């Protein structure tokens, strides 16, 4: 297999425009890059938000997508860690069209590319990286909770010893991964909320207590910690209501001092956090694994989660369940609409190279 001169891509031709299919080509590889045939790409809310709100896009036509799996078809001259034919998964680079994934081929820095183990499909692998980096940033980076050490480091499996963590929105893509990272970090009490249909599944991922998504109170979250300090609150949904719930959980805990959110900080939630003697900060993180400021996390994460000796291969990390949208590269608009309309407990995926 080799890298073709041109290939098909789904492009946004103008601000707020619907996708069209166009021919694209890739630049020459840098010494540390790999070229990847994109066999499956996941759709995340950030994708349709970028298009609808016209953010991160500096020129048109634009290419979206930053969560994918595929097969390496070429390597740069300095790359020793990967080879042509390797199955891989990765977080693409928003705003870097050559490294975006709503197209049949892309390029990536090799050190940010995980090897796909034999026990999962490319469809499953495609939805791992972006949401995981959102959790890794929110848990372990200084912009988030700064839990240390991270689970791939010595002693990282005991970082949560003697502590409880609350994860709002456990059945979401990010929420499922947050539960698993909390387990990998050794938290003794992992508390989340979800609709009843997801309770058993979330417990299988590592949640100790799953409360009702609509009715659970802050006091119930604290009580579920069973006497352990509820030290951290992570909001995997990050809308106004969940940010306010997170603040109220932290206030009720009298221990947690921050709520980490993966979207913009809601001003009412931020104000609520300063309204009582126990102050709570609402902190937005930006999980862009290619950022130089996050390479200290994204590079060791890529190694720890992938490969035949990594967490996925060992059964320590389970990818999201998949909702496949058929139709090849032309399925992009249906996939975006499906994600925007709302999915529960699944990752929307399409295959750019399918007919």
Q: Report the CATH number at residue 42.
A: 3.90.180.10
| Tens-place pLDDT, residues 330-344 | 999 999 999 999 988
Residues 124 and 161 occupy one common structural domain: no
Sheet strands (E) in 137-289: 164-168, 189-194, 209-212, 230-235, 258-261, 281-284
pLDDT of residue 101: 98
Q: Which CATH number do you get for residue 258?
A: 3.40.50.720
**Is the per-residue pLDDT at 123 higher than 90?**
yes
Q: Count each helix (H run) and each strand (E run) in the chain, helices first.
A: 10, 15
Residues 122 and 148 occupy one common structural domain: no
Nearest Cα to 102, choosing from 49, 58, 13, 41? Answer: 41
Q: How far is CA 85 from CA 56, 72, 100, 123, 199, in A?
A: 32, 5, 20, 17, 39
Report the alpha-carbon distance of residue 113 to residue 33 in Å, rounded.
Answer: 10
Residue 2: band (very low, low, confident or very high) from pLDDT cuts 50, 70, 90: confident
| Tens-place pLDDT, residues 31-53 | 999 999 999 999 999 999 999 99
**Is the per-residue pLDDT at 182 higher than 80?**
yes
Residues 159 and 277 occupy one common structural domain: yes
Residues 75 and 183 occupy one common structural domain: no
Report the alpha-carbon distance of residue 167 to residue 48 in Å, rounded.
Answer: 25
Q: Residue 12 has what DSSP assignment?
A: B
Residues 173 and 207 occupy one common structural domain: yes
| Tens-place pLDDT, residues 126-181 | 999 999 999 999 999 999 999 999 999 999 999 999 999 999 999 999 999 999 99
């Amino acid at each position: 297999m080799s890298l073709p001169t041109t290939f098909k891509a789904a492009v946004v031709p103008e601000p707020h425009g619907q996708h069209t299919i166009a021919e694209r080509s890739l630049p020459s590889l840098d010494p540390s890059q790999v070229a990847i045939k994109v066999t499956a790409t996941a759709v995340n809310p950030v994708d349709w938000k970028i298009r609808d709100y016209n953010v991160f896009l500096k020129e048109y036509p634009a290419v979206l997508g930053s969560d994918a799996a595929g097969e390496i078809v070429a390597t740069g001259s300095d790359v020793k860690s990967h080879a042509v034919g390797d199955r891989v998964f990765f977080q693409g680079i928003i705003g870097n069209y050559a490294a975006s994934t709503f197209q049949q081929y892309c390029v990536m820095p090799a050190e940010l590319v995980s090897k796909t183990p034999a026990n999962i499909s490319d469809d499953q692998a495609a939805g791992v990286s972006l949401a995981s980096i959102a959790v890794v940033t929110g848990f372990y980076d200084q912009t988030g909770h700064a839990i240390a050490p991270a689970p791939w480091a010595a002693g990282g499996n005991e970082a949560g010893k003697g502590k409880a963590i609350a994860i709002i929105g456990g059945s979401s893509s990010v929420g499922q991964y947050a539960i698993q990272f909390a387990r990998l970090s050794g938290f003794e009490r992992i508390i989340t909320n979800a609709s009843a249909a997801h309770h058993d599944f979330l417990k299988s991922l590592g949640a100790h207590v799953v409360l009702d998504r609509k009715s659970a109170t802050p006091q119930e979250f604290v009580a579920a910690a069973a006497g352990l300090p509820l030290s951290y609150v992570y909001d995997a949904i990050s809308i106004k209501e969940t940010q306010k719930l997170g603040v109220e959980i932290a206030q009720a805990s009298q221990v947690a001092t921050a709520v980490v959110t993966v979207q913009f900080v809601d001003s009412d939630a931020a104000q609520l956090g300063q309204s009582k003697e126990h102050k709570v900060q609402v902190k937005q993180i930006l999980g862009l694994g290619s950022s130089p400021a996050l390479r200290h996390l994204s590079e060791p994460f890529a190694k720890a989660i992938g490969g035949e000796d990594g967490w996925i291969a060992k059964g320590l990390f389970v990818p999201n369940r998949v909702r496949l949208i058929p139709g090849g590269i032309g399925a992009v608009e249906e996939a975006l609409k499906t994600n925007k309309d709302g999915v529960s407990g699944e990752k929307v995926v399409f295959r750019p190279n399918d007919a």
